[in-house]
């Protein structure tokens, strides 16, 4: 009884399918789950600060000529493997590693529909810095458990999910621009970032997101071992089919992550960073219109993709 996949195929779906706000919203909401899961997975390990110090492992310098941190080396290795499978060709994937350090794709390129203009935006350096300096210290204990490999695997996954979430904002920008391009012309020409932000932001949606995210962090972050474990062990007659214990509704909940922390990660970082990317993308949008596209928009005839 497998649920049906609700993932759209970036290569075979049409641009208008991908850029529908409904599609975008479903991707962003599903990514919340992934981000919460990955944060919980990282939080089981200690902070392990040396992982983030450049040059902390002399062997990486000697044998790999790698002067950055352990985690950045891990990113490079992982992203290199994924480069061979053309991950970074996809319009929703951005590497943390400098492209010249990544190998070429082995598989032939996939032909994606024309979605975004050729923007060159990649805010992963800022994502990495904030993750290292704020997120990891917030969600982990200030300790060292030696689990550098396991922690780095989680770091790579969490960073990739945050990066995909934040860069996905460009689909929102493109979608909103296409549906009412005329509204964007003046603020783009005036480089009015505030106005542009207002055009793509819905405070009610943002509030709903934070409510939903808190609930996800609370529900997925429950530590069910203590509550169910002990109860089930006592009741030795319990069969696998009857889950008598429902710690979700009891008061003395134990949590693997603090829901407030997760909400703050979005409120203080993911949401503002996404807006920055969205506006960065919009601010140059007119440069990538042909004269006839621009004329049509100015005449109130809307946006038309060029053949």
> Which of residues 85 and 304 has its CB atom nearest to a copy of itself in the complex?
85
> Which of residues 34 and 122 has its CB atom nearest to a copy of itself in the complex?
34
How many other C-beta atoms can be found within 10 angstroms of the C-beta atom of residue 191? 10
> Which of residues 46 and 185 has its CB atom nearest to a copy of itself in the complex?
46
Footprint of a copy of itself on 255-284 (CB under 8 A): 255-258, 260-261, 263, 267
User: How many residues sit in the footprint of a copy of itself (CB under 8 A)?
Assistant: 100
Footprint of a copy of itself on 184-243 (CB under 8 A): 204-205, 207-208, 210-212, 214-216, 218-220, 222, 224-225, 228-229, 232-233, 236, 238-243
CB-side neighbour CA atoms (13 Å) of 110: 16
Footprint of a copy of itself on 28-87 (CB under 8 A): 29-30, 33-34, 37, 40-41, 43-46, 57, 59-60, 63-64, 74, 77-78, 80-82, 84-87
Footprint of a copy of itself on 109-168 (CB under 8 A): 110, 137-143, 145-149, 152-153, 157
> Which of residues 138 and 182 has its CB atom nearest to a copy of itself in the complex?
138
- Minimal distance in Å, beta carbon 49 to a copy of itself? 13
């Amino acid at each position: 009884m497998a649920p049906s996949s609700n993932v759209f195929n970036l290569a075979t779906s049409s641009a208008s399918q991908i850029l529908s706000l409904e599609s975008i919203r479903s991707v962003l909401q599903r990514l919340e789950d992934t981000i919460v899961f990955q944060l919980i997975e990282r939080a089981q390990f200690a902070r392990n600060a040396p992982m983030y110090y450049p040059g902390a492992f002399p062997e990486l310098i000697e044998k790999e000529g790698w002067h950055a941190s352990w985690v950045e080396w891990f990113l490079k290795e992982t992203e290199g493997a994924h480069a061979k499978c053309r991950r970074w060709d996809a319009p929703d994937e951005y590497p943390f590693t400098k492209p010249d350090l990544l190998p070429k794709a082995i598989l032939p390129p996939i032909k994606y529909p024309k979605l975004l203009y050729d923007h060159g935006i990649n805010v992963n350096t800022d994502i990495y810095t904030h993750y290292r300096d704020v997120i990891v210290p917030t969600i982990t204990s200030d300790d060292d458990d030696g689990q550098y490999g396991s922690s780095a695997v989680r770091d790579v996954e969490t960073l990739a999910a945050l990066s995909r979430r934040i860069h996905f904002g460009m689909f929102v920008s493109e979608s909103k621009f296409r549906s009412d391009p005329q509204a964007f012309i003046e603020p783009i020409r005036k480089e009015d970032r505030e106005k542009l932000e207002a055009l793509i932001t819905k405070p009610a949606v943002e509030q709903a997101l934070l409510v939903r995210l808190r609930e996800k962090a609370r529900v997925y972050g429950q530590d069910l071992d203590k509550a169910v474990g002990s109860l089930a062990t006592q009741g030795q007659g319990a069969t696998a089919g009857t889950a008598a214990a429902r710690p979700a509704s009891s008061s003395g909940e134990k949590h693997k992550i603090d829901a407030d922390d997760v909400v703050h990660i979005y409120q203080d970082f993911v949401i503002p960073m996404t807006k920055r990317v969205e506006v960065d993308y919009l601010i140059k949008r007119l440069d990538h219109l042909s004269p006839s596209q621009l004329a049509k928009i100015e005449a109130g005839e809307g946006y038309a993709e060029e053949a």
